[in-house]
Structure 1
Amino acid sequence: MRKKIAKFSILPLAAGFVFFSFSTKDAAKLDLENYSTYDLELDYTVPDLRDEIIPEFKVDQTSPILGKSYVGFKEALAFKESGGDYKTINEYGYLGKYQFGEGTLKLVGVYDTISFLNSPALQEAAFYANASRNKWILQRDIKRFVGKTINGVEITESGILAAAHLAGPGSVKKYLRSWGAQAFSDAFGTTIKTYMKRFGGYDVSFVKTEKNSRVDFDKLSV
């Protein structure tokens, strides 16, 4: 008696496994000894794409692609803030990849936090607008203090902008103008000095100085 041939499909997955999908409702009850793959063409060659799908990422090194660019700056800051997770909300209510407070979002024209969490493009635009606004507020301090050393840390423009993201531009002004005497730390104990050091030396010339920088929704690709 000729054996029946079961209908099934073979799907290659990124992890290297094979998934069998039987076409009958009683697939779980099948006695595989009654079936054969005789005469079926099963010669599949699937390339190993894992290196392309999951590239190596080393936290302790600057990305050779992003380097010290503006993109490298914001991605390094995002990794520190949230691990780069657009959807996250921390225990204090800070939102998204860059951990924005609702008050800061309103300053750059974002009022809908649900839409904000669901739109990576909006979050990126908000980050730029906030950095541009902070750069305007701190422009005199940038000119005065860049290249100086405070509490053992060389002051750079990117360090100032990162610290402003953490503590607000007002706190950064106080820190710089007191030569580090008026310190700040957030709820997790992170200080302005920490951000000045960790995010120093990036090229943030891409960020333009703008007094009332806000998200331009007309140009936003959500």
Structure 2
Amino acid sequence: MKRNLLQAVVLLIVTIVVASGFTYKKKVDLSRFKITEDVYVYHVPTEEEVSLYPEPVALPQYQLFLGKTYLGFKEALGFKESRGDYRIVNQFGYLGKYQFAQTTLHMIGVYNTENFINDTSLQESAFEAYTSRNKWILRRDIKRYRGKYIGGVKVTESGILAAAHLAGAGNVKKFLRSGGTIGFNDAFGTSIKYYLKKFSGYDTSHIPANQKAKVL
């Protein structure tokens, strides 16, 4: 009987201790974390107020300005020929950024058209070599006609070189020496006169006049 009573007392004590562990709350001082109600005060604009705000202004898109430099000349001509696409081959078989015929490429030392179409550096070298050849062929005409007007278009060295890229140096000679009466249009209807005007005034003075220029 005493033993049972002792066990009951012990069980009661244990129950009280366990229960007090779950119900006891320690008071914590939160005064140092106190924030005022002003912090939560904010304003959401109405539709009428939003309509008064200015529309967002789009930032301008900046592009590199190459001006009338030689690089500007190359890029302008390349864009006109192919929109600057090195990999393009048109329906007439002209290749790359500057739209070279295979016969022209052979003349300046390029025989593998697959390599040519996949090599941007080779295409740039081909342009420089061909332009250098054309400058040699047209050197006397550049000296004679530069600064003059033919068909209302002022003749410049860069215009002559661009026209030679379009039509060949021989056709440009005929055009200049005939006073513009003997013209030329490519398969798309583009004329020598148009190229003389469009590519007028670029600085191509440093291009050497080389009769035998080839791709290195």
Give the Cα–Cα distance (whole angstroms) in 2 for the partners of residues 91 and 104 of structure 1: 17
What do the CA deviations read for 1:180-222 (whole angstroms, capped 9, x no partner)?
0000000000000000000000000121110100011xxxxxx
Give the Cα–Cα distance (whole angstroms) in 2 for the partners of residues 56 and 88 of structure 1: 27
Tell me the equivalent position of 1:196: 196
Tell me the equivalent position of 1:82: 82
Secondary structure of the equivalent of 2:104? helix
Matched, 1:207 2:207: yes
Matched, 1:151 2:154: no
Tell me the equivalent position of 1:186: 186
Secondary structure of the equivalent of 1:105? helix
Give the Cα–Cα distance (whole angstroms) in 1 for the partners of residues 129 and 186 of structure 2: 22
Query: Match of 1:88, as an amino acid?
Result: I
Secondary structure of the equivalent of 2:131? helix
Give the Cα–Cα distance (whole angstroms) in 2 for the partners of residues 128 and 170 of structure 1: 18
Matched, 1:108 2:108: yes
What do the CA deviations read for 1:51-110 (whole angstroms, capped 9, x no partner)?
9xxx645xxxxx52x111111001000000000000000111100000000011111100
Give the Cα–Cα distance (whole angstroms) in 2 for the partners of residues 205 and 199 of structure 1: 14
What do the CA deviations read for 1:143-194 (whole angstroms, capped 9, x no partner)?
0000110011000000000000000000000000001000000000000000
Secondary structure of the equivalent of 1:132? helix
Query: Match of 2:155, as an amino acid?
Result: I
Give the Cα–Cα distance (whole angstroms) in 1 for the partners of residues 183 and 150 of structure 2: 11
Secondary structure of the equivalent of 2:181? coil
Q: Which of the pair is proportionally richer in helix?
A: 2
Tell me the equivalent position of 2:166: 166
Matched, 1:96 2:61: no
Tell me the equivalent position of 1:73: 73
Normalising to structure 2: TM-score of the pair? 0.71
Structure 1 residue runs without a partner (length 5+): 1-50, 58-62, 217-222
Equivalent residue pairs, number = 157
Secondary structure of the equivalent of 2:200? coil
RMSD across aligned positions (CA)? 1.2
Tell me the equivalent position of 1:135: 135
Matched, 1:126 2:122: no
Give the Cα–Cα distance (whole angstroms) in 1 for the partners of residues 147 and 210 of structure 2: 23
Query: Match of 1:75, as an amino acid?
Result: E
Give the Cα–Cα distance (whole angstroms) in 1 for the partners of residues 208 and 126 of structure 2: 14
Normalising to structure 1: TM-score of the pair? 0.69
What do the CA deviations read for 1:11-52 (whole angstroms, capped 9, x no partner)?
xxxxxxxxxxxxxxxxxxxxxxxxxxxxxxxxxxxxxxxx9x
Give the Cα–Cα distance (whole angstroms) in 2 for the partners of residues 146 and 103 of structure 1: 29
Equivalent residues in 2 for 1:37-56 (5 A)? 56=62
Query: Match of 1:80, as an amino acid?
Result: K
Query: Match of 2:133, as an amino acid?
Result: R
Query: Match of 2:116, as an amino acid?
Result: F
Tell which structure's C-alpha radius of gyration is larger: 2
